[in-house]
Every structure is written in C-alpha cells, then in structure tokens.
C-alpha cells in the first residue's frame, strides 16, 4: 500500500480481482506464489498434469511429498497457496484447456480480470490469445527455455495480440525445444517476476497508456532488451492480424485442432479427454488383473512394463510416459482404456 500507484485503492482492486492461471508448471508456480502474497482475491488454477520428481528443480510450489504421491499440480498448488494466504479463494481445476471447455473453465469461479499464460504448449497459448481478444480481457504471456525468457502483455484493443507478433505457432521458436534444452530455474524466476508485475499493473491500473513492449533476455550472454511493439499496434498493421484484426478465432473455434499432444519433458504423450467421463474405480479393478495399477480419487496409474506409465483421469484423458511415439501411446491407451 506504500508503493506509489498502488495505495489502499490499489490493494482493494487486487483483493477484488480474479486471475485465471493456465498451466501450473514452472511459470504458473512462480506467478501464483507472488499473486497469492500480493493478495489477489480469487485465483483459478487450471492444470492437466501431475507432479514428478524432475519438476522440483523449478516448480516452486511443490515438494518431495507431492512428487512421491504424484499429486495433480492444480490440487497441490491450491493447498500450498492456502497455506501462504488463507484469505484468498483458490479454485483448482484438474483439466486440459480445450476449445470446447476453455470459456467454462476460465469463467468457472467468476469473470476473469486477467488471464495468465503459464503453459508450455503452443496450442493452448494461441487458444488463450483468441479468448483474450474475443472477450476483451488482458492476457499476460511468458515463455522460458534454457537460459532465455520473454514476457509480453496483451491488452486487447490497445496493444498487439500474440498473433500480431507471432502469426503462427511455429514462428514462436523459443518454445520448441523445452525437452532437449532444459530450463534454468533462475531464468524462470525472472519471467515469473515480470509476469506477476504485469498482472499487478493491470489490476491497479498503473500506467495504462504505456506503449506495448516485449521484454526478452538471455542469461548466457547477459543481454536484456525491451522491444517496442508500437508499429505493430498501428490500425493498418492490426487489420492484417487474423485474430485481433479480422476476429477469426481459429484456435477457439477448433479449426486448428491438435489431436494427440506431445507434452514438454521426457517423452510424454497425452490422449485428449472424451465427451463422457469414466469410472476410475471400475477401470482400476479391470486393469489390476493384467498389470500393476495404482489409483486414487484423481487418476488411475498403470505400469504395463518397466519404465512405461499410463495415467488416466476421470475425463478419459491420459498421459503416457516412456513410449517411443504417438502410435505406441495410442495403442496402450486403446488396450487399457478402450478406443
Ligand atoms: Zn493481433
């Protein structure tokens, strides 16, 4: 409250806000920690995955007990946030954000004041961009890989959107090699601080007319720079953007479908959710006759052979680890869960 630009009115605005955080990996963890401590009144956490040992190096809301239990990230982060600041409301949603469910999930707790991109996959990022532009809600984007990171804030109507800057997912090269390049935890910390600062600026209305910029850095060379995006914000430039210029929401409409997704990290594949839910208890019972299985209220984990693991959620979504390709992942899914 002492800081210029925040004060009592700003702190009240922060408490009244609802920030929807999509992805609770490295970026989501760091931002959620800061937003919880800043007193953001309502936090929605949407994440589809469970905690693994290798996450602990950079995913700061989780601990060894979480990795041991394989707890869903949304659930573990909600518990941790409640222990940081019990005055705020946290809504954990263990789910994959898809064109079909995105608006229902993001609006589940309340209309979001700000959308926060903590994801590691391109389709979800472009889906979020479509929703932000369509609904006129600010989106705080961040990305990190190896020792490099970037951050950009999208204020629909006044700054360029993600597709103005990177028209196609493939143009956003910093995201493509997460698995092979690794991520330095310290680089994550820089991006999440930039993202958290951007969220708070939006919530308190600090410098609303600041020109659009993209900040990027590389800790290998020590270079930090802020690129002005004002040229892209010009009306004649924006008119050429499929998303914010022409209002064609290709990712939200499902036109750009993704099918099976390769997850970031250690050769994992995801089979998307289905229309109908499955009974995890029945599945665990069936599978137990043919393969080692572990079950809890959130998922059934099947270990068909050493090093291969199939985690099935109630919405029939599954994450398969330890297989060589998409076909093998799909085959295992069909074998244990059914086509
Ligand atoms: Zn645009």
Domain containing 304 — which CATH number? 3.30.310
Contact 103, 131 (CB under 8 A): yes
**For residues 104-128, average pLDDT:** 93
Question: Within its chain, how far is the Cα of 44 from the centroid?
Answer: 11
Least confident range from 21-35, 180-194, 253-267, 311-325: namely 253-267
- Position 170 scores a pLDDT of 64
| Centre of ligand 1 from the C-alpha of residue 175, in Å | 19
Q: Is the pLDDT reported for residue 41 higher than 80? A: yes
**For residues 154-181, average pLDDT:** 74
Are both 272 and 209 inside the same structural domain?
Answer: no
Q: Is the pLDDT reported for residue 242 higher than 90? A: yes
| Centre of ligand 1 from the C-alpha of residue 330, in Å | 35
| Centre of ligand 1 from the C-alpha of residue 134, in Å | 11
Specify if 243 maps to a domain.
Answer: no
Cα–Cα distance for residue pair 129/181, rounded to 1 Å = 26
| Centre of ligand 1 from the C-alpha of residue 245, in Å | 6
Cα–Cα distance for residue pair 106/3, rounded to 1 Å = 30
More confident residue, 329 or 67: 67
Contact 315, 300 (CB under 8 A): no
| Residues constituting the chain | 339
**Which phi and psi (to 5°) does residue 71 adopt?**
-70, 145
| Centre of ligand 1 from the C-alpha of residue 129, in Å | 9
Helix, strand or coil, per DSSP, at residue 295: strand
Cα–Cα distance for residue pair 54/71, rounded to 1 Å = 14
| Centre of ligand 1 from the C-alpha of residue 130, in Å | 9
pLDDT band of 49, cuts 50, 70, 90: confident
| Centre of ligand 1 from the C-alpha of residue 72, in Å | 34
**Which phi and psi (to 5°) does residue 222 adopt?**
80, 10
Specify if 81 maps to a domain.
Answer: yes
| Centre of ligand 1 from the C-alpha of residue 16, in Å | 29
**For residues 139-164, average pLDDT:** 95
| Centre of ligand 1 from the C-alpha of residue 141, in Å | 14
Q: What's the token pair of residue 78?
A: 């909600």
H-state helical runs in the chain:
7-16, 26-38, 64-69, 73-84, 102-106, 122-135, 162-165, 178-181, 185-204, 230-233, 235-238, 280-287, 326-336
Specify if 331 maps to a domain.
Answer: yes
Q: Is the pLDDT reported for residue 256 higher than 80? A: no
* Residue 325: strand pairing partners: none
| Centre of ligand 1 from the C-alpha of residue 273, in Å | 29
Sheet (strand 114-117) strand order: 89-94, 42-47, 18-22, 114-117, 139-145, 148-154, 213-218, 223-228
pLDDT band of 257, cuts 50, 70, 90: low
Are both 122 and 159 inside the same structural domain?
Answer: yes
| Centre of ligand 1 from the C-alpha of residue 164, in Å | 4
| Centre of ligand 1 from the C-alpha of residue 75, in Å | 34
| Centre of ligand 1 from the C-alpha of residue 154, in Å | 9
| Centre of ligand 1 from the C-alpha of residue 225, in Å | 22
Digit-coded pLDDT (tens) for 281-309: 988 988 888 889 999 989 999 998 888 99
**For residues 97-118, average pLDDT:** 95
More confident residue, 124 or 225: 225
Are both 180 and 233 inside the same structural domain?
Answer: yes
| Centre of ligand 1 from the C-alpha of residue 331, in Å | 39
Q: Is the pLDDT reported for residue 266 higher than 90? A: no
CATH code: domain of residue 132: 3.40.50.720
| Centre of ligand 1 from the C-alpha of residue 243, in Å | 5
Specify if 255 maps to a domain.
Answer: no
Specify if 314 maps to a domain.
Answer: yes
Domain boundary among 175, 206, 238: 238
- Position 265 scores a pLDDT of 60
Specify if 252 maps to a domain.
Answer: no
More confident residue, 328 or 219: 219
Give every CB contact of residue 61 below 8 A, 6+ residues apart in sequence.
24, 29, 32, 33, 76, 77, 80, 81
- Position 306 scores a pLDDT of 87
Least confident range from 88-102, 138-152, 311-325: namely 311-325
**For residues 326-335, average pLDDT:** 80
Nearest to 198 by CA among 146, 150, 234: 150
Are both 134 and 194 inside the same structural domain?
Answer: yes
Are both 232 and 283 inside the same structural domain?
Answer: no
Rounded to a whole number, what is the largest CA-CA distance in the chain?
Answer: 64
Specify if 251 maps to a domain.
Answer: no
**For residues 180-201, average pLDDT:** 93
DSSP string, 169-227: GGG-GGGTTHHHH-B-HHHHHHHHHHHHHHHHHHHHT-STTPPPEEEEEETTTTEEEEE
| Centre of ligand 1 from the C-alpha of residue 237, in Å | 9
**For residues 226-238, average pLDDT:** 90
pLDDT band of 172, cuts 50, 70, 90: very low
Are both 216 and 78 inside the same structural domain?
Answer: yes
Are both 82 and 141 inside the same structural domain?
Answer: yes
**For residues 29-43, average pLDDT:** 98
**For residues 202-206, average pLDDT:** 96
pLDDT band of 259, cuts 50, 70, 90: low
Query: Which domain covers residue 218, as residue numbers?
Result: 7-238
Are both 180 and 276 inside the same structural domain?
Answer: no
- Residue 64: HSE in the Cβ half-sphere, 13 Å Cα cutoff: 0
Q: What's the token pair of residue 281?
A: 């208890």
Q: Is the pLDDT reported for residue 21 higher than 90? A: yes
Cα–Cα distance for residue pair 136/125, rounded to 1 Å = 16
| Centre of ligand 1 from the C-alpha of residue 43, in Å | 27
The angle that helices 185-204 and 7-16 make with each other, rounded to 10 degrees, is: 110
Are both 224 and 318 inside the same structural domain?
Answer: no
| Centre of ligand 1 from the C-alpha of residue 103, in Å | 20
Residue indicated by tokens 């949304």: 74
Q: Is the pLDDT reported for residue 174 higher than 50? A: no
Are both 194 and 79 inside the same structural domain?
Answer: yes
Specify if 250 maps to a domain.
Answer: no
| Centre of ligand 1 from the C-alpha of residue 242, in Å | 7
| Centre of ligand 1 from the C-alpha of residue 90, in Å | 31
Cα–Cα distance for residue pair 172/167, rounded to 1 Å = 9
| Centre of ligand 1 from the C-alpha of residue 105, in Å | 24
More confident residue, 252 or 336: 252
DSSP conformational letter for 72: B
Are both 48 and 178 inside the same structural domain?
Answer: yes
| Centre of ligand 1 from the C-alpha of residue 256, in Å | 17
Number of domains the chain is built from: 2
| Centre of ligand 1 from the C-alpha of residue 157, in Å | 9
Q: Is the pLDDT reported for residue 176 higher than 70? A: no
Distances (CA, A) of 138 to 153, 157, 177, 180: 7, 10, 27, 32
| Centre of ligand 1 from the C-alpha of residue 202, in Å | 19
- Position 127 scores a pLDDT of 95
Are both 218 and 274 inside the same structural domain?
Answer: no
């Amino acid at each position: 409250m002492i800081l210029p630009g925040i004060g009592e009115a700003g702190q009240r605005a922060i408490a009244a806000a609802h920030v929807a955080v999509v992805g609770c990996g490295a970026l989501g963890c760091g931002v959620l920690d800061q937003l919880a401590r800043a007193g953001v009144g309502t936090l929605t956490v949407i994440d589809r995955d469970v905690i693994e040992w290798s996450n602990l190096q950079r995913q700061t809301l989780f601990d060894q007990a979480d990795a041991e239990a394989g707890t869903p990230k949304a659930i573990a982060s909600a518990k941790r946030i409640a222990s940081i600041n019990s005055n705020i409301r946290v809504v954990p949603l263990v789910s994959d954000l898809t064109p079909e469910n995105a608006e229902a999930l993001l609006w589940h707790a309340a209309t979001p004041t700000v959308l926060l991109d903590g994801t590691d996959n391109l389709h979800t990022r472009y889906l979020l961009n479509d929703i932000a532009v369509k609904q006129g809600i600010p989106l705080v984007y961040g990305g990190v890989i190896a020792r490099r990171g970037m951050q950009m804030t999208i204020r629909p109507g006044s700054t360029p959107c993600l597709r103005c800057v990177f028209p196609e997912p493939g143009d956003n090269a910093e995201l493509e090699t997460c698995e092979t390049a690794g991520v330095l935890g310290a680089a994550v910390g820089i991006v999440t601080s930039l993202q958290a600062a951007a969220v708070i600026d939006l919530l308190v209305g600090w410098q609303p007319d600041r020109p659009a910029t993209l900040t990027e850095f590389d800790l290998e060379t020590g270079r930090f720079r802020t690129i002005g995006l004002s040229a892209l914000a010009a009306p004649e430039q924006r008119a050429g953007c499929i998303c914010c210029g022409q209002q064609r929401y290709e990712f939200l409409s499902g036109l750009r479908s993704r099918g099976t997704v390769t997850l970031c990290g250690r050769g994992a594949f995801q089979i998307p959710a289905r229309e109908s839910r499955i009974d995890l208890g029945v599945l665990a019972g069936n599978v137990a006759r043919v393969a080692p299985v572990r079950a809890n209220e959130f998922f059934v984990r099947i270990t068909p052979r050493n090093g291969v693991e199939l985690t099935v959620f109630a919405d029939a979504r599954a994450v398969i680890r330890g297989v060589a390709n998409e076909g093998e992942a799909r085959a295992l899914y069909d074998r244990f869960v059914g086509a």
